[in-house]
Amino acid sequence: MGVSRAGFVPAAVVEWDKWCCDTIRENRLRHVQPLAKWPSPIEGDIRDVDFTKHEGLIDLVTGGPPCQPFSLGGKHRGYDDVRDMWPQAVRVVRETKPKAFIFENVKGLTRATFASYLAYIVQQLTYPELTLRADEDWPDHLRRLEKHHTRQPHKKSGLTYNVVYRVLNAANYGVPQKRERVVFVGFRNDLGIEWSFPEQTHSLDVLLGQQASGEYWERHSVPKAHRVTPSRLATRAQSTLISDKNRPWRTVRDAIGDLPDPEREQRKSSLLLNHKFQSGARSYAGHTGSPLDLPAKTLKAGVHGVPGGENMLVRPDGTVRYFTVRESARLQTFPDEFAFHGAWSEAMRQLGNAVPVELATVIAKDVRIHLNAATKAKAT
């Protein structure tokens, strides 16, 4: 959705999860933009999809290869996990030869444990046509890719991409959630594009400074008796507020403050899409919920137990409740008209696996600007 909002129109959408496909199909039927312009999703295993018919016709390939193998909340099996779909991401690039690609994954992929495999991913994306041989394991393939990478330029040939990656915090780009993900961006070498990740637009220091000055609380009409500011951090924030050009981090209150409380105002809540109270929330070690006046903690899909067990709001009085699907959608910057298909647990799983729409839009817009500039330069 974020990439489409940046001006790209999908040629194909591939998704293996039934509930996600139902969500896409429902929003297409409801003419929710920009999904109304999407093709019907291909529901199934990406390993069974042939992308060669799109060769040379694609500006951008985007995706999120299943991240459970590398997630801090998962089982950390990495490259030994059958759910690792990075080889398929590389295959899509190889078969379509796009001008650019954007891939997203969990921050856990950058852990020291996976350092060699991270290097392997980058080298494969750089040289997607240098495929794994039948007599190689992946460390042998990595060594061959590294040797190719260090050769003299005139001895290299084939499809090549210039690849950069960085861990980004979605809160720094206007998402009301502290969600760190590693993003890979590559441009085809023949385009001559120089690129870097967009500068962050939002800041923790500005938020804390506004809370310390009272501006934040007054914006939300919060009585002085109910204002809670982390004084230690606010002191630091005040010293940088004047010179900081960024906007404040968006908080949970910023995102959902205008919605009726689904537990205490159930009649009003029932009138809104996907805004139904879910009982059973309780706080315990590792599942403490998100304070109202900071960005939310990372929404999680869950690998065992109830999906999204951490996905709770902590009210100022200390009580907790689960975020509704609609509130979670706002924390992931989906529009209010976007409907999620399935029961609460399935909808929360979709949201926990999603990329924040606004973060994707920021990155994809910048990629599109550079692609358009390269196309214009080539035409002249």
pLDDT digits (tens, 9 = 90+) for 63-94: 999 865 554 444 444 455 566 899 999 999 99
Please pick, among 3, 24, 60, 67, the residue that the annotation labels catalytic: 67
| Residue 364 scores a pLDDT above 80 | yes
Could you confirm whether 67 is annotated as catalytic? yes
Please check the confidence at residue 154 and state whether its pLDDT lies above 80.
Answer: no
Over the stretch 255-285, which tens digit does the pLDDT of each residue have? 999 999 999 999 999 999 999 999 999 888 8
Cβ pair 166, 110 in contact under 8 A: no
Q: Which two tokens stand for residue 332?
A: 């992931």
Residue 231 Cα distances to 122, 203, 214, 226, 238, angstroms: 42, 17, 13, 15, 10
Between residues 234 and 94, which one has the greater pLDDT?
94
Across the chain, which distance is largest between two alpha carbons, in Å? 70
The percent of residues in the chain predicted with pLDDT above 70, rounded, is 89
Cβ 45 vs Cβ 65: under 8 Å: no
Q: Where are the domains of the chain?
A: 2-200+356-379, 202-245
Q: Examine the pLDDT at 248 and tell me if it is beyond 80.
A: yes
| 20-29: average pLDDT | 96
Residues 332, 159: Cα–Cα separation, whole Å: 35
Question: For residues 342 and 23, is the Cβ–Cβ distance under 8 A?
Answer: yes
pLDDT band at 31 (very low <50, low <70, confident <90, very high): very high
Are the beta carbons of 339 and 26 closer than 8 angstroms? yes
Could you give the CA distance from residue 19 to residue 42 in angstroms, rounded to a whole number?
13
Architecture field, domain 2-200+356-379: 3-Layer(aba) Sandwich (3.40)
Q: Are 209 and 236 in contact (CB under 8 A)?
A: no
Contact at 8 Å (CB) between 330 and 311? no
Contact 136, 196 (CB under 8 A): no
Model confidence, pTM: 0.91
pLDDT at 78: 44
Residue-wise pLDDT for 317-354, tens only, equals 889 999 999 999 999 999 999 999 988 889 999 999 99
**Range 143-166 average pLDDT:** 92
Pull the structure tokens for residue 291: 């304070």
Torsion of CA 7, 196, 101, 120, to 10 degrees: -160
Work out the angle between the directed axes of helices 204-213 and 231-241 (0-180°, nearest 10): 100
Segment (H or E) for 185: strand 180-188
Average pLDDT value for residue range 2-16: 97
Confidence of residue 303 (pLDDT cuts 50, 70, 90): low
pLDDT at residue number 230:
54
